[in-house]
Amino acid sequence: MNKVFLVAFAMLAMTFTGCVEEEEGALAPIATFFVEKDSGGKWHVEVIKVSKQENLAGFSYFLKNGTGATYTEGNGFGEIAMQNVSGELHGIETTYEGDDGKLENRANNVSADDGSNYPVHFFDDDRNGKLSPGDKFLVFGQGNSANGPTESGWILDIKHDASGDSIGSAKLLGN
């Protein structure tokens, strides 16, 4: 009886170990944000904590209105890192320092925009190419130096591309 029990236990343990390894590979990091609105109509969303740092190219952003629908006009969603995907330029990273002139131009366009075309900007604060504490998103509403669509009650949601999971959301509040 003891041998049967040990064999059954060993088989169960091997199955469980395989599941744990598989799930760990697909687990998305978890992020915490601090949000503050300035008097110019912009929300500053700072990454406070990330459970594990991964390359920016593995994350997307979604600007969601008060009903939870993704803002689809302009660049209300997409890739965070500057990327050239099959000839199409993507990204909202204003601190891009790569060697692709087209992506550098896009980064300059994002940086110079008042929220009209790019309602969300991203700043890789430590320039490490990963989503990490200290990095910042800038979300544009209406105000002195802002001409974006965002209103109080909207949400900035950050997703992990590999898993499809949301790693964190920032509620944008304030008048």
Higher pLDDT, 55 or 75: 55
For the residues 5-24, what does the mean pLDDT come to? Answer: 40
d(CA 113, CA 117): 7
Q: In the structure, what pLDDT confidence band is assigned to residue 10 with cuts at 50, 70 and 90?
A: very low
Per-residue pLDDT at 23: 43
Per-residue pLDDT at 36: 97
User: 23 in a domain, yes or no?
Assistant: no
Q: In the structure, what pLDDT confidence band is assigned to residue 26 with cuts at 50, 70 and 90?
A: low
Exposed / middle / buried, residue 172 (Cβ in 10 Å: 0-12, 13-18, 19+) = buried
Exposed / middle / buried, residue 46 (Cβ in 10 Å: 0-12, 13-18, 19+) = middle
User: 92 in a domain, yes or no?
Assistant: yes
Per-residue pLDDT at 112: 97
User: 163 in a domain, yes or no?
Assistant: yes
Per-residue pLDDT at 158: 98
> 104 is written with which tokens?
């550098």
Domain of residue 130, CATH code: 2.60.40
Please calculate the CA angle 48-53-55 and round it to the nearest 5 degrees. 120
Q: Please name the residue that has the structure tokens 């997703």.
A: 159
User: 107 in a domain, yes or no?
Assistant: yes
- Domain total for the chain? 1
d(CA 67, CA 125): 31
Task: Give the tens place of pLDDT for each residue, 147-165.
Answer: 999 999 999 999 999 999 9
User: 126 in a domain, yes or no?
Assistant: yes
User: 105 in a domain, yes or no?
Assistant: yes
User: 158 in a domain, yes or no?
Assistant: yes
User: 21 in a domain, yes or no?
Assistant: no
Q: What residue numbers bound the domain in which 134 lies?
A: 29-172
